[in-house]
C-alpha cells in the first residue's frame, strides 16, 4: 500500500490547486482523478465556455464592423470549428495542469476513488493511505423531476458545449451564470433563444438594477425572456421538444429543437464512501468547520461539495487555506461575504458584497452611486456603452458594502472592489485614488464620486 501525507480526491480547480500548495508546503502528495485533469472547470465549464463566448463576441464584431468604419462582407461562422476551438483550449489547459502536477512532484492516480475508514482511499481495487484526505469531487448539472435530461433533446451544460449541429431554436431553463452565458452564445450564433426563469428577475442573485439591464440588453439582442415562469412538463416524443410553461397568464407551449436545463448543480458525493467512513452530510453538502475538517479526523472537504458559493476561485481558496491549516500556519477563515461573482455573457456582469436591497434589509444607512458607461470616454471609443458601475457605501463609516457592474470587461474590473473591501477601504479613499484615463475602470471612481455628490462627468 502506497502511503502519502495528503491525498486529494478530484483534480478540479479546488483539487489540483490544493495538491500543488500541499506539495509546496513539503507534503508528499497524490491526487486521484477518474476523468480529465482540471475537472469540470477546465474541461467542461469555466474555460471552454469562455472560448465559445469569445468566438461569439468576435462573430458579433464582424457582423457589426460597419459601426467601426470597417467593411466585412459575408461574415459567417463554422459552428463545428467554433466547438473544436473550445475543446482544443480545454485540452491545452488540462495538459497545463498535468505539467504543473509533474513539476510539483505530485503523484496522479487515475481511476475512481472511494474513501475507506482508517484514512484510506480505494482506487479501482488498489488501496492508498494518507495522514490527511481532502475531498474535492465537485458537482454536476442538477436534474429536476420535470426536466429529466436525456442528453439529446433535454441537455445539461456538458452537451451544450459539444453539440454536433447548431439548433435553430433553443429553450434555456434557468438564468444563472450558466443559463445566460449559453443563451448569449447561441443567440449570437444565430439560434432563436428563449429563457425561462422561475423567479421574477433574470440573474436573480444580482442587484435588481443589474438584472433589469441584462434583460433589456438581451431583449435588444433578440433573446426572449419569460420570468416568474416554470416548466412543468416536457414532451420529447416528436422531432424536437415541447415545453409546457406555467406563467401568471396561464400555460403556454414552447417548441424548440433542444432544451438546456441550467437549474443549478448537484454535489458529487454519492458512492465515494462517505457512509462507510461516517462523514456527516446535510442538504447535499459535506459538513465541515471553518478549516474544512469533517466530523471524522483526517478527512476534509472543499469546493462544490461544501456550503458556500460554487465557484472555481472559492474552491481554490478553500483548498489552499485547508492545507495551510494542516501545515500549522496561522490562517484566517475565508470571508464568504467578499467573494466576487462573474457572468461572462455580453454584457458581462460582476459583483461583490451586498446588493442595495440587502444593505437596506440589514439596516444600513447607505450612499449609492451609479455611473453609466454611456458617459465613459473609453466605453464610447470602444463602442461598448451598455451598462454601469454601481457602488454602495455605509453612510456613517464609509464602509464599501457592495459593488455591482454590468458592461464590457467588468469581470476584469471587480478585483478593485474585492481588494478595497479586504483592506477596509472607505469611499473617500477610493475617490482620492487616481484612476487612469481613459479606461473602463475609472467608472468605479466616478460611481463613488456620484455616491458622495462629487461626480464630474455625469
Is 91 annotated in a binding site? The answer is no
Residue 148 lies in a domain: no
125 and 176 share one domain: no
Q: Is position 227 within any domain?
A: yes
DSSP alpha helix (H) spans, 303-454: 312-326, 356-361, 377-382, 415-422, 427-432, 442-451
pTM: 0.94
Give the domain range for residue 375.
347-451
Residues 136 and 282 reside in one and the same domain:
yes
149 is a domain residue = no
Q: Is the pLDDT of residue 1 over 80?
A: no
| Listed residues 242, 263, 284: the one ending a domain | 263
Query: How long is the chain?
Result: 458
User: Is 50 assigned a ligand-binding role in the annotation?
Assistant: yes
326-334's contacts with Cβ under 8 Å and 24+ in sequence apart are 326/6, 326/22, 326/27, 326/132, 326/300, 327/25, 327/26, 327/27, 331/291, 333/290, 333/291, 334/290, 334/308
What is d(CA 318, CA 334) in angstroms, rounded to the nearest whole number?
A: 7
C-alpha cell read off for 387: 451598462
- Binding site annotation covers 178? yes
Q: Which three cell numbers stand for residue 358?
A: 440587502
Sign of CA dihedral 64, 65, 71, 77: negative
CATH number at residue 197: 3.50.50.60
Active site residues: 437
Q: How far apart are the first and last CA of the chain?
A: 69
- Give the angle 108-109-113 at the CA atoms, nearest 5°: 135
At which of 243, 263, 283 does a domain end? Answer: 263
Mapped onto helix, strand or coil, the DSSP state of residue 2 is strand
CATH code of the domain in which 363 resides: 3.30.390.30
Q: Is residue 436 one of the residues assigned to a domain?
A: yes
The reply, when asked if residue 447 is annotated as ligand binding, is no
Q: Could you report the per-residue pLDDT of 290-330, keeping only the tens digit for each?
A: 999 999 999 999 999 999 999 999 999 999 999 999 999 99
Q: According to the annotation, is 177 in a ligand binding site? A: yes
Of 200, 229, 263, which residue sits at a domain end?
Answer: 263
Q: Which residue has the cell 457592495?
A: 402
What are the φ and ψ backbone dihedral angles of 323, each rounded to 5 degrees?
Answer: -75, -30
Output the CA torsion 340→343→344→350 (10° steps): -50
Q: CA 436 to CA 3: how far, in whole Å?
A: 54
335-391 pLDDT per residue, tens: 999 999 999 999 999 999 999 999 999 999 999 999 999 999 999 999 999 999 999
**Residue 41 pLDDT > 90, yes or no?**
no
Amino acid at each position: 500500500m502506497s502511503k502519502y501525507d495528503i491525498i486529494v480526491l478530484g483534480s478540479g480547480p479546488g483539487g489540483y490547486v490544493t495538491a500543488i500548495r500541499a506539495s509546496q508546503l513539503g507534503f508528499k502528495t497524490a491526487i486521484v482523478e477518474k476523468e480529465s485533469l482540471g475537472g469540470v472547470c477546465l474541461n467542461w465549464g469555466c474555460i471552454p465556455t469562455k472560448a465559445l463566448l469569445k468566438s461569439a463576441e468576435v462573430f458579433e464584431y464582424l457582423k457589426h464592423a460597419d459601426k467601426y468604419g470597417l467593411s466585412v462582407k459575408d461574415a459567417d461562422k463554422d459552428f463545428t470549428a467554433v466547438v473544436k476551438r473550445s475543446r482544443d483550449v480545454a485540452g491545452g489547459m488540462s495538459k497545463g495542469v498535468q505539467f504543473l502536477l509533474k513539476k510539483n512532484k505530485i503523484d496522479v492516480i487515475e481511476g475512481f476513488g472511494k474513501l475507506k475508514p482508517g484514512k484510506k482511499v480505494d482506487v479501482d481495487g488498489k488501496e492508498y493511505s494518507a495522514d490527511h484526505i481532502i475531498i474535492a469531487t465537485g458537482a454536476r448539472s442538477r436534474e429536476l423531476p420535470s426536466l429529466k435530461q436525456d442528453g439529446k433533446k433535454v441537455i445539461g451544460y456538458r452537451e451544450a458545449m459539444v453539440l454536433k449541429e447548431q439548433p435553430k431554436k433553443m429553450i434555456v431553463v434557468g438564468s444563472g451564470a450558466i443559463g445566460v452565458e449559453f443563451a448569449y452564445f447561441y443567440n449570437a450564433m444565430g439560434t432563436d433563444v428563449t429563457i425561462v426563469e422561475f423567479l421574477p428577475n433574470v440573474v436573480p442573485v444580482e442587484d435588481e438594477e443589474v438584472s433589469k439591464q441584462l434583460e433589456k440588453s438581451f431583449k435588444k439582442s433578440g433573446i426572449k425572456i419569460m420570468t416568474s415562469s416554470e416548466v412543468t412538463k416536457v414532451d420529447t416524443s416528436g422531432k424536437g421538444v415541447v415545453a409546457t410553461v406555467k406563467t401568471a397568464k396561464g400555460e403556454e407551449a414552447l417548441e424548440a429543437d433542444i432544451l438546456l436545463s441550467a437549474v443549478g448543480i448537484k454535489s458529487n458525493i454519492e458512492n465515494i464512501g462517505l457512509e462507510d467512513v461516517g462523514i456527516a452530510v446535510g442538504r447535499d453538502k459535506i459538513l465541515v468547520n471553518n478549516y474544512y475538517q469533517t466530523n471524522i479526523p483526517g478527512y476534509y472537504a472543499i469546493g462544490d461539495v461544501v456550503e458556500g458559493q460554487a465557484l472555481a476561485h472559492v474552491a481554490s481558496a478553500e483548498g489552499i487555506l485547508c492545507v495551510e491549516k494542516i501545515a500549522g500556519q496561522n490562517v484566517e477563515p475565508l470571508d464568504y461575504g467578499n467573494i466576487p461573482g462573474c457572468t461572462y455573457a455580453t454584457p458581462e456582469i460582476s459583483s461583490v458584497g451586498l446588493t442595495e436591497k440587502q444593505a437596506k434589509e440589514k439596516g444600513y444607512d447607505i450612499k449609492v452611486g451609479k455611473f453609466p458607461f454611456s458617459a465613459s470616454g473609453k466605453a464610447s471609443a470602444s463602442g461598448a456603452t451598455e451598462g454601469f458601475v454601481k457602488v454602495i457605501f455605509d453612510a456613517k463609516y464609509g464602509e464599501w458594502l457592495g459593488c455591482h457592474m454590468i458592461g464590457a470587461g467588468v469581470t476584469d474590473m471587480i478585483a478593485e472592489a474585492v481588494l478595497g473591501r479586504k483592506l477596509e477601504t472607505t469611499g473617500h479613499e477610493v475617490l482620492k485614488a487616481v484612476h487612469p484615463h481613459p479606461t473602463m475602470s475609472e467608472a468605479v471612481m466616478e460611481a463613488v464620486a456620484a455616491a458622495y455628490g462629487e461626480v464630474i462627468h455625469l
